[in-house]
Amino acid sequence: MATFIDPIITDNNNNGEAEAEEEDAFLGFIDYAISILTSDEKNDSDRDVESSNNYAGPSWNWIVSRILKTCSAYSSGVTSAILLSDLSQAWNEQYQFGFSKRKPELITQMQKKHRRTRLPNAVTIDSIYEKNFLSTSSILEAVVLDVFVLPGTNIYMISLGDFWSSNTIDLYLHRRYYDLVDPESPDNGILKKGREIFLTGCCLRTAAEGSGCRRLLPTEYLVILLDENKDEDAMLLGAQFCSDTFSSISHDAVNNSGAAYSFYARIESIGLIETRGRFGSIQPKQITLVDNEGVNIKFILWGEQVLLVNLLSVGGMLALDRPFVASPEESNIEISEELFLEYGTATQLYLVPFIPREEQICIASTQNRSQGSRALNATSHTQGPKVSQVMLPCNSEGTIDFSNYPFRTFVIDLHDKMTSVSLYGIVTNMFREIKTGETVFVLQIEDKTGAITAKLHFVTSWSLGRLNLGHTIYISGLTCYMTPQKLIEVSWFEKDVGASLVNLSCSPSLLNSSCLHKLSCLSDPSGLTNITRICVVRLAQVEHFYVNSRFSHSLCGHFVNEMPDGYLQCNFCRCACDDEVVRTFHLKIPLVDDSTKILAWCTGPAAAELLQISPDEFYELSEDEQAMYLYTLVNEKFIVTIVNCSRQEENYGDMDNLDNSNRENETVIWEIAHALKCE
């Protein structure tokens, strides 16, 4: 099994940046949160640890994404208690293995052989009891623990558990599945004790609505999991699903004699239906299936049926029993296929999940060479075994999925064929590629171990708000690849699942949350300039000639210029934006604290906050009134985010592509990215 153990040369000139990162309070809080959650998990006596090399704690990416999501919801600021409470609750609901109570014995036995990756957004039975709520779009991954008839009725019930909960819950079985159970002998039938199922579309009947215990109401959207390595499941697939192929479908036989089919096919793709028909508020979904003859057909889901898509994944093998065979004429839609399949009233679905092979990643070959990851140290300092390696999913092409990698990924760790990678670093260069028909922006992202070129692909236009040189960002959903020049680069696609970019330098919550930042002085005794700093400052005299008004592009916040033919062009996006401009300040302003005085520039909301007035209101005043107003701002106190926005042009050879929006600020290297008036 391959491991990343090739030697990597570290640039020792980055010692200053490494020291700067050690002072990053945001990174420090992430490490603290990881140590708290992993400490709680190691105290869980019910957790089965098979090996000292296993790691089942929260990934670094998951912690960061969750913190930033909470910060986005609380722009006025958060406390460490709010963040830790949210992290703990989310982790316990979605990912944690086990609670203090004992699980059913059957679950404990099955968990030792459980290898399948958990579905995204799946909820646990324990969380249902905690919240006393279950949305119809929620996903349950469950194990059948018992099958029985509700006393005094002919209603079939199944008792469910899961691998992450100590509680169990009963489900009223939908009548379309009655022929799959044997209540007289729960160990027989297809839906028997020990069978794994996926289900969605469930509603919770609370204790107040019934007999005093919570139960799940019937759902039509249930998928039965099969294992080809088990004899009985292999026999079921061979006997029931391998005789029919897509090429054998006869629409006349279906219409005239009610012919029924059972198919076994691989899920090739899942997406929105490509048709010009009109639908309701829920867009139909199509699943492309390929049988063993290589013939493909569409399996179309309508309305609430689209919930089933969340239970399936590309690469899995789907067995369809009695799907409805339809034609475009019957369904009144325009589609190129002559026939397609639908989820009919008698249809039942079986799934052999796709389980990607795993790749062994040695922690020593990445984190230990990154000059001491504090994330690694945080977990190592808690009681319990140290982690030396992790197993990550790897597809058939050798691409390794790093979405659940426990630790922070650094630039020095990046190799070809890595996907779902996240980076935390500083933007040191940025421009739009203009020699392509697509909307592609190039960023250079730098951390304490090096720099990497990232190509960001957008569907139509830039959609990430204001971003500038020196800003600190967290970007997720990156894929690594090797260029023809044998260099590692990363790509990012706006539409991909898990793709996000957060600009921490412009985050109001970061400025309002003392647990996520560390105050510093304007002076820089350490000589470290390439970091985001939070400072409490006073305004010195703002000279009138330092206050200007410009038009900026509303999508990206960068200035626009009027071209010779009269239209307005964004300096950064390099596109016409006549209908997307706003008036903004372009301000140079002296800042003072007890250590020194500097001149910084700013624009947008930060400039309006510092001047405590909008551009339109300011320019309604006469020149004398403007000068008098600026004089009243002297010694006003603010907390500000300051970044070094100087450009490092030597990193790029194609200077024609570069954004010129900072050229006029080259003599003023400090930008105020965000500001907040101190009360």
How many Å apart are CA 56 and CA 94, to the nearest integer? 12
How many Å apart are CA 545 and CA 488, to the nearest integer? 46
Give tens-digit pLDDT for 111-150: 777 777 778 778 989 888 888 889 999 999 999 999 999 8
Q: What is the mean pLDDT of the chain?
A: 84
> How would you class 361 by CB atoms within 10 Å of its CB: exposed for 0-12, middle for 13-18, buried for 19 or more?
buried
Q: Higher-confidence residue: 275 or 657?
A: 275
Percent of the chain with pLDDT over 70: 81
Give tens-digit pLDDT for 290-321: 999 999 999 999 999 999 999 998 889 999 99
What residue ranges in 615-669 does DSSP mark as E strands? 637-644
Q: What is the reported pLDDT for 395?
A: 75
Q: What is the largest CA-CA distance in the chain?
A: 93
Q: Are 593 and 578 in contact (CB under 8 A)?
A: no
Looking at 39-48, 259-268, 648-657, which range is the least confident one?
648-657
- Over residues 558-565, the mean pLDDT reads 93
For residue 476, list its beta bridge partners.
500
Task: Indicate whether 249 pLDDT > 80.
Answer: yes
| Closest-CA residue to 600 (of 563, 642, 552) | 642
User: What string of DSSP letters covers 196-257?
Assistant: EEEEES--EE-GGGTTSS-EEPP-S-EEEE--TTSHHHHHHHHHHTSS--GGG--HHHHHHH
- Over residues 168-193, the mean pLDDT reads 93
Q: Are 126 and 166 in contact (CB under 8 A)?
A: yes
Angle at 623 between CA 617 and CA 625, to 5 degrees: 65
Give tens-digit pLDDT for 57-67: 788 999 999 99
Q: How many CA atoms lie within 13 A of 543 on its CB side?
A: 7
Give tens-digit pLDDT for 354-385: 877 666 676 644 454 444 444 444 444 443 33
Q: What is the reported pLDDT for 560?
A: 95
Percent of the chain with pLDDT over 90: 59
Q: What is the reported pLDDT for 661?
A: 46
Q: What is the reported pLDDT for 113?
A: 76
- The model's confidence at residue 655, banded by pLDDT at 50, 70 and 90, is very low
Q: Are 163 and 177 in contact (CB under 8 A)?
A: no
Q: Higher-confidence residue: 276 or 661?
A: 276
Residue 625 CB contacts under 8 Å (≥ 6 apart), including other chains: none
- The model's confidence at residue 48, banded by pLDDT at 50, 70 and 90, is very low
> How would you class 176 by CB atoms within 10 Å of its CB: exposed for 0-12, middle for 13-18, buried for 19 or more?
middle
Q: Higher-confidence residue: 396 or 184?
A: 184
User: What string of DSSP letters covers 176-197?
Assistant: GGGGGB-TT-TTSBSS-TT-EE
Alpha-carbon Rg for the chain, nearest whole angstrom, is 29
- The model's confidence at residue 72, banded by pLDDT at 50, 70 and 90, is very high
Give tens-digit pLDDT for 182-214: 888 988 999 999 999 999 999 998 866 555 688
Q: Are 399 and 67 in contact (CB under 8 A)?
A: no
Q: Are 450 and 390 in contact (CB under 8 A)?
A: no
Q: What is the reported pLDDT for 650?
A: 44
Task: Indicate whether 527 pLDDT > 60.
Answer: no
Residue where the block lists tokens 């569907």: 459
What residue ranges in 373-499 does DSSP mark as E strands? 389-394, 400-401, 418-419, 421-432, 439-447, 450-458, 472-482, 488-493
Q: What is the reported pLDDT for 274?
A: 61
Structural domains of the chain in order of their starting residue, each with its CATH number: 1-48+360-518 (2.40.50.140), 116-225 (2.40.50.960), 231-352 (2.40.50.140), 520-677 (2.40.50.140)
Q: What is the reported pLDDT for 112?
A: 72
How many Å apart are CA 513 and CA 583, to the nearest integer? 30
Q: Two tokens at 631?
A: 């004089």
Q: What is the reported pLDDT for 379?
A: 42
Give tens-digit pLDDT for 615-645: 999 999 999 999 999 999 999 999 999 999 8
Q: Are 350 and 316 in contact (CB under 8 A)?
A: no
Q: What is the reported pLDDT for 151?
A: 83
Q: Two tokens at 233?
A: 């499941």
| Closest-CA residue to 522 (of 643, 401, 345, 609) | 643
How many Å apart are CA 316 and CA 314, to the nearest integer? 6
Q: What is the reported pLDDT for 658?
A: 47
Reduced to 3 states, what is the DSSP secondary structure of residue 26? helix
Residue 219 CB contacts under 8 Å (≥ 6 apart), including other chains: 171, 174, 199, 200, 201, 202, 203
Q: Are 116 and 162 in contact (CB under 8 A)?
A: no
Helix, strand, coil tally for the chain in percent (to 5): 25, 30, 45
How many Å apart are CA 186 and CA 183, to the nearest integer? 5
Looking at 18-22, 256-260, 433-437, 535-539, which range is the least confident one?
18-22
